[in-house]
Amino acid sequence: MKSNSIKNILHEKGIISGGPKIVAIGGGTGLSVLLRGLKKYTLNITAIVTVSDDGGSSGLLRGDMGILPPGDIRNCIVALANTEPIMEQLMQYRFKEGTLKGQSFGNLFIAAMNDICGSFDTAVKEVSSVLAVTGKVLPVTLENVVLYAKLEDGTVIKGESQIPIKQKALNKRIDRVFLKPGNCRPLPTALKEIQDADAVIIGPGSLYTSIMPNILVNNMAKAINNSKALKIYVSNIMTQQGETVGYSLSEHIKAINDHGNKLLIDYAIANTGKVPQAFLEKYKTEDASPVLIDNDAMSDMGIKVIVGDFVSIENEYLRHDFNKLAERIFRLLNEEKLQKDKKFYYLINGKLKKSKTLTKER
The fraction of the chain above a pLDDT of 90, given in percent, is 79
CA 269 to chain centre: 14
Quick check: 220 and 49 in contact, CB under 8 A?
no
* Within-domain flag for 20: yes
- What pLDDT does 1 receive? 40
* Cβ-Cβ contacts under 8 Å for 308 (sequence gap 6 or more): 269, 271, 272, 273, 324, 328
When mean pLDDT is compared over 8-12, 170-174, 358-362, the highest value belongs to: 170-174
* Within-domain flag for 272: yes
Phi and psi at 9, nearest 5°, equal -60, -40
| Of 71, 102, 137, the domain-final residue | 137
13 — pLDDT class (breaks 50, 70, 90): very low
| Of 137, 157, 180, the domain-final residue | 137
- Statement: residue 342 has pLDDT above 90: no
Q: Are residues 121 and 153 in the same domain?
A: no
361 — pLDDT class (breaks 50, 70, 90): very low
Which position has the higher pLDDT, 296 or 354? 296
CA–CA separation, 123 and 115 (whole Å): 8
Q: Are residues 22 and 65 in the same domain?
A: no
| Of 88, 104, 137, the domain-final residue | 137
Q: Are residues 283 and 238 in the same domain?
A: yes
Q: Are residues 116 and 145 in the same domain?
A: no
- Statement: residue 358 has pLDDT above 90: no
55 — pLDDT class (breaks 50, 70, 90): confident
Phi and psi at 141, nearest 5°, equal -150, 160
Q: Are residues 29 and 69 in the same domain?
A: no
- Statement: residue 362 has pLDDT above 50: no
- What pLDDT does 14 receive? 38
* Within-domain flag for 235: yes
* Within-domain flag for 133: yes
Q: Are residues 105 and 235 in the same domain?
A: no
pLDDT per residue over 238-281, tens digit each?
Answer: 999 999 999 999 999 999 999 988 889 999 999 999 999 999 99
- Statement: residue 320 has pLDDT above 70: yes
Q: Are residues 114 and 154 in the same domain?
A: no
